[in-house]
Amino acid sequence: MVWFLLLFCLQANAQQPFSFPLPNQLTDVVYNIHQDSKGFVWLATNKGLMRYDGYEYQLYRSDKQTSVAGSNIQEDKYGRIWYQNFDGFLYYVKSNSLETFQQNTPVGFSGYGFTKNYLFLVQKEGVDIFEVSSLKFIKTIKISFDLAESSTVFKDNFYFIADNMMYVIDENFNVIKKDFFKNKKLHIKYIYPYKNESLFVVSKLNEAKEMYFFDENLKLNYTFPIPEINLIQGADIIDNHIWVHTSNGIYVYEKNGKRVYKNAFFPQNSSSQTIKDHQNNYWFSSVNEGVSVVPELNHKVYSVHDSDFMRFCKTNDGYLIGTENGEIISTDKAFQNNKILRSIGQKVPTYYVYFDSKEQQVIFSDLGFSIEDRFENIRRVAEIANLFLQNGSMV
Domain count of the fold of the chain:
2
pLDDT tens per residue, range 132-184: 999 999 999 999 999 999 999 999 999 999 999 999 999 999 999 999 999 99
* CATH number of the domain encompassing residue 114: 2.130.10.10
Any domain includes 47: yes
Question: How high is the mean pLDDT of the chain?
Answer: 87
Any domain includes 3: no
**Domain enclosing residue 329, as ranges:** 309-390
pLDDT tens per residue, range 60-79: 999 999 999 999 999 999 99
pLDDT of residue 5: 37
d(CA 189, CA 180): 12
Pair 58, 196 in one domain: yes
Of 251, 268, 299, the residue that ends a domain is 299
pLDDT of residue 297: 82
Flag whether pLDDT at 92 surpasses 90. Answer: yes
Residue 379's pLDDT band (boundaries 50, 70, 90)?
A: very low
pLDDT tens per residue, range 76-90: 999 999 999 999 999
Any domain includes 9: no
Task: Over range 360-384, report the average pLDDT.
Answer: 55
Pair 375, 288 in one domain: no
Of 253, 276, 299, the residue that ends a domain is 299
d(CA 189, CA 73): 19
Pair 181, 154 in one domain: yes
3-state secondary structure the chain: CHHHHHHHHHCCCCCEECCEECCCCCCCCEEEEEECCCCCEEEEECCEEEEECCCCEEEECCCCCCCCCEEEEEECCCCCEEEEECCCCEEEEECCEEEECCCCCCCCCCCEEECCCEEEEEECCEEEEEECCCCCEEEEEECCCCCEEEEEEECCEEEEEECCEEEEECCCCCEEEECCCCCCCCCCEEEEEECCCEEEEEECCCCCCEEEEECCCCCEEEEEECCCCCCEEEEEEECCEEEEEECCEEEEECCCCCECCCCCECCCCCEEEEEECCCCCEEEEECCCCEEEECCCCCEECCCCCCCEEEEEECCCEEEEEECCCCEEEEECCCCCEEEEECCCCCCCCCEEEEECCCCEEEEECCCEEEEECCCCCCCHHHHHHHHHHCCCCC
d(CA 23, CA 179): 47
Any domain includes 7: no
pLDDT tens per residue, range 236-258: 999 999 999 999 999 999 999 99
Beta strands 20-21; 291-294: pairing state: antiparallel
Pair 194, 277 in one domain: yes
Pair 46, 133 in one domain: yes
322: number of CA atoms within 13 Å, CB side?
Answer: 19
Pair 240, 273 in one domain: yes
Any domain includes 304: no
pLDDT of residue 374: 42
Pair 321, 356 in one domain: yes
pLDDT tens per residue, range 25-39: 999 999 999 999 999
Pair 152, 279 in one domain: yes
Pair 171, 217 in one domain: yes
